[in-house]
Amino acid sequence: MHQLLLRCLGSFALIFAVSQVSLASSHREAPLIADDPLADNTDVYAFVSPDDPSTVTLIANYIPMQLPQGGPNYYTFGEDIRYEIHVDNDHTIVGDEITYRFTFTRMNQDPSTFFNIRLGAENIKATYVLERSLDGGNTFQTIVEEGIVPPYNIGPRSIESPVGLNSNYETLWESAITTASTGEMVFAGPADDPFFVDLGGIFDLGDSPRQGEDDISRDGLAQFNVHTLALKVPITTLKKKSAANTPADILDGDYVIGVWASASRPAMRTINSGDDIEDSGAYVQVSRLGMPLTNEAVIPIGMKDYWNALTPYQEAADLTLDPSFYNPELALYISPGAFAASVPAFSPLMIQSSSLGAFDFSNGGNGLFDLKGSAALDGTVLAAGSTYEDFLLPGANLPRSVDLWPIFHTGVPNLRPYQLATGKMGDPLAAGKPFINNFLPNGGDMLRLNMAVPPTPRDSDNFSSLGLVQAAVLGLTDGAFNSSAELQFIPNMDGFPNGRRLEDDVTRIELQAVSGIVLAAIGLWYDDYDAADPNASPVTEDLLSVLSYTTEVEMNDKPFRATFPYVAMPWRGTEVDHTNTINE
């Protein structure tokens, strides 16, 4: 549970900064990339494929907030950009072990018309080459030579009619799914934006859920499209080379991967004339993403472009960014934060300022630092002399160094104190119920996924978009799981922030985590818990208030597909109605 907590807290920390920046995951999250939408990485997902648990699906989305009706030059991938999905599976080797690189070529089949599609011809038509490196980027092998990007879903005359492509859009879209020469399933093309959030409310000084009597929360990304890169990869390809063919258990540390995505452009561009452009020089990273909301909701605006230019491995060595995780801005707007009264939408949320009567995790508090060097920490990763002591307890007044910082920089190990409070007998530092192990201490911001954790069936009554938060709730309160501190699969252990599923409500999860739900899960209960009363229940009003918090936008505007690439097909340009995006 601890791991869940830590993981959640980290992601939750992201949400902390939500009131200062966009909460649309990484849509337009930094000044420079906001001016370069073709290279803007909006979201990354990594999950064990629900219909094929022997594989993991990796998804990276680009080009935010596409109007489906945005003609005549409809969106597609850029020609002069390297789009890459990176995988780290071995912390003993610095850098990526596996990289998938997409590069695109565009052509006009009928340059005599201003229409995008006419008489069977398609303009701005894209194809791609997919390369794979298994040696840290030293060499690349071409595994798809001429992949097809399906056309934009313009409308019935462009797609189905005899004067258009004379085809069915679903057929065109699904026919673009291909299999690489090395066995991966691959898709590159337009899709519905799977992220869901009330952008209008969040941008309006954290007004989510909206507080106006007649102001209804609504999904600000409803009926917008993105461009998706999706890979369905055998776990045998992704696991560490030295890992056994079968995991030892559902938290096997040899099955942890870190996943991030990037976009890079040539260092120089020379415009000789309107249509005569030359690109030259080495490729330079201009966008990257792992965990959702990091750059927009944690990193301050003056460092956002700098953050986008770093790899996670460079970030790990850059201590200038750490303070944003130790004392996240968003915590200022959650009780007992200094400005909590100014954000009434967050009133159900709170942060422990006197957990167990002793520990203050609000901004400027000491968290667990007062225990540094104490025998109470013996046997934990916080113990004196531990490899991680100085990282997790770096100093006074840095309260979230024990949860948010490791979530983004190392992941969470299945070690004390990062386990569920179940079995701890009231001592948050004791051993508890194993809950998560996605520990990969080899870089900065990545999605970290333990591939040994089985997927929760999407049609199960136990499936929840609250991911690890819901798994923690079950592990603490459900008789099927809280009667033993032994390792067992709890539904949604495969959810965010152990990887990220398309359905996961990361905005809500992160806000709850920022407000201390992860700390509570490992036994650092809310302030209204009376630790001196042996009959007191930790399920207090404060805990229930945080658990019941909602932004009122809790699901995507389109159902996800049950099969690869799992994202929904893109909205059609002739059917969207952006006046009708109210959350039902």
Residues 6 and 131 in one domain: no
Residue 509 has pLDDT above 60, yes or no: yes
Model confidence pLDDT, tens digit, residues 394-416: 999 999 999 888 888 889 899 99
> Average pLDDT for residues 555-578, to the nearest whole number?
95
* 36, 126, 384, 456 from 151: Cα distances, Å: 22, 8, 59, 33
Ordered DSSP codes for 400-461: GGGTHHHHHHT---S-TTSSBSTTSTT-TTS--B--------S-SS-EEEETTSPPPPTTST
CA atoms within a 13 Å half-sphere pointing along the CA-CB vector of 173: 24
Give the pLDDT of residue 546.
96
Question: Among all chains, which residue has been given the structure tokens 């007062």?
Answer: 370
Residues 162 and 218 in one domain: yes
Give the pLDDT of residue 279.
79
Model confidence pLDDT, tens digit, residues 432-452: 999 999 999 987 899 999 999
Write out the H or E segment, with its range, that includes residue 324: helix 323-326
* Residue 32 belongs to some domain of the structure: no
Ordered DSSP codes for 486-505: S----TTTTSTTSSB-TT--
Q: What is the DSSP letter of 233?
A: E
Instruction: Name the CA dihedral angle for 476, 480, 483, 486, rounded to a multiple of 10 degrees.
Output: -90
Residues 269 and 368 in one domain: no
Quote the number of domains for the chain: 2
Beta strands in 136-222 (DSSP E): 141-148, 178-179, 185-192
Residues 386 and 530 in one domain: yes
Model confidence pLDDT, tens digit, residues 165-200: 999 999 999 999 999 999 999 999 999 999 999 988
Gap between the Cα atoms of 347 and 334, Å rounded? 7
Residues 156 and 278 in one domain: yes
CA atoms within a 13 Å half-sphere pointing along the CA-CB vector of 321: 26
Model confidence pLDDT, tens digit, residues 219-242: 999 999 999 999 999 999 999 999
* Residue 564 belongs to some domain of the structure: no
Whether residue 336 is preceded by a cis peptide bond, meaning omega within 30 degrees of 0, is yes
* 26, 321, 371, 373, 434 from 382: Cα distances, Å: 33, 22, 9, 9, 18
Give the pLDDT of residue 5.
37
Give the pLDDT of residue 14.
32
Are 73 and 124 spatial neighbours (Cβ–Cβ below 8 Å)? yes
Residues 378 and 267 in one domain: no
Residue 274 has pLDDT above 80, yes or no: no
Which among 273, 292, 311 is the end of a domain? 292
Give the pLDDT of residue 387.
87
Residue 145, both tokens: 């030579």
pTM: 0.92
Biggest CA–CA distance in the chain, Å, is 81
Burial of 140 (0-12, 13-18, 19+ CB in 10 A): middle
* Gyration radius (Cα) of the chain, Å: 24
* Residue 206 belongs to some domain of the structure: yes
- DSSP helix, strand, coil percent of the chain (3-state; round to 5): 25, 20, 55
Contacts of 322 (CB under 8 A, 6+ apart): 394, 405
Residues 264 and 161 in one domain: yes
| 253 vs 320, higher pLDDT | 253
Model confidence pLDDT, tens digit, residues 343-385: 999 999 999 999 999 999 999 999 999 999 999 999 999 999 9
Closest CA to 74 of 161, 181, 149, 172: 149
Gap between the Cα atoms of 448 and 500, Å rounded? 9
Average pLDDT, the chain: 90
* Residue 275 belongs to some domain of the structure: yes
Give the pLDDT of residue 296.
67
Residue 1 has pLDDT above 90, yes or no: no
* Residue 495 belongs to some domain of the structure: yes
> Average pLDDT for residues 99-128, to the nearest whole number?
97
Give the pLDDT of residue 321.
83
- Start-to-end C-alpha separation, the chain: 33
The model's confidence at residue 20, banded by pLDDT at 50, 70 and 90, is very low
- Enumerate the β-bridge partners of residue 582: 218
Instruction: Name the CA dihedral angle for 340, 341, 343, 344, rounded to a multiple of 10 degrees.
Output: 120
> Average pLDDT for residues 154-159, to the nearest whole number?
97
CA atoms within a 13 Å half-sphere pointing along the CA-CB vector of 520: 32
pLDDT-wise least confident of 266-270, 329-333, 422-426 = 266-270
> Average pLDDT for residues 269-286, to the nearest whole number?
82
Residues 218 and 196 in one domain: yes
* Residue 572 belongs to some domain of the structure: no
| Domain region containing 501 | 1-23+320-550
* Residue 315 belongs to some domain of the structure: no
Residue 65, both tokens: 């907030």
* Residue 31 belongs to some domain of the structure: no
Residues 105 and 231 in one domain: yes
Residue 391 has pLDDT above 70, yes or no: yes
Residue 542 has pLDDT above 70, yes or no: yes
Residues 140 and 240 in one domain: yes
Residues 96 and 235 in one domain: yes
Residues 10 and 106 in one domain: no
Write out the H or E segment, with its range, that includes residue 48: strand 41-48
